Structure formats: structure tokens, C-alpha cells
Structure 1
């Protein structure tokens, strides 16, 4: 896995499924605000990313 992967980024958050368990190899990217949905009364959703994804906004997590 690359050192600059989503799983080691400060903006990455583990993604919990409806069952309360963490989604394996997936998380939420908290860099940008939630993405709006077509329905006006729907809540925005954070982008779901894989732990080994990466982007140009990577910032090393301070553990």
C-alpha cells in the first residue's frame, strides 16, 4: 500500500455500516463537505473511499 493512501490521511474516517460494524477496506473522505442529493429533504453524503485510494489532498494523519 502506498504511504499516501486514504487510510493514513488525516481526512479519512472509518465507515460504519447500518449494522454498526466498520466497512472493511472503506471509509469516508472528510476533506470536502458532503455531496448534496437530488431530493431537497435528503441529507448530504460524504464520499466513500477505499483504504488504498489516494488523491491530491493527502495530508499525513497525526497519530
Structure 2
């Protein structure tokens, strides 16, 4: 059973969702800064999310 939200909020419709680096069904969430890596030599990474995911930070992309 898929979870749904009011007005169909989903990462794919959020202004913080970036598909340029990952494709159409996966994307990067640009709401928070990149997450640091355990070995201090690697650069931080943006969280990967599914286009159908959603969270409490949703803002429509056209806003």
C-alpha cells in the first residue's frame, strides 16, 4: 500500500528535488546541506531520494 499525502506532495514535485545527477526516478534532496562522510577525506553527499518519496519540508517546485 503506497503512502499518499495531501495534494499529492512528492519529492518529484518539490523545489528541492534535483534529478540532473541521478535520473528521473531517483534524485538528490537539496533541502539540507550535504552529509559528511566518516573518513574525512571524502566530500559530503546529498541524500538520494525516490521521486515518490516525501517529507515535511515539501515546497511545490512552481512556488
TM over 0.5: yes
Find the aligned partners of 2:16 and 2:43 in 1 and give their Cα distance.
Answer: 20
Q: Report deviation, 1:24.
A: 3.9
How many aligned residue pairs are there? 58
Spell out, residue by residue over 1:5-26, the C-alpha distance to the aligned partner (whole angstroms, 9 max, x if none).
000000000052xxxxx43410
* Other-structure match for 2:43: 43
Find the aligned partners of 1:24 and 1:6 in 2 and give their Cα distance.
Answer: 11
TM-score (normalised: structure 2): 0.81
* Other-structure match for 1:19: none
Structure 2, unpaired ranges of 5+: none
Taking only aligned residues, the RMSD between alpha carbons, in angstroms, comes to 1.8
**Dislocated runs of 4+, deviation >2 Å:** none
Structure 1, unpaired ranges of 5+: 17-21
* Other-structure match for 2:9: 4
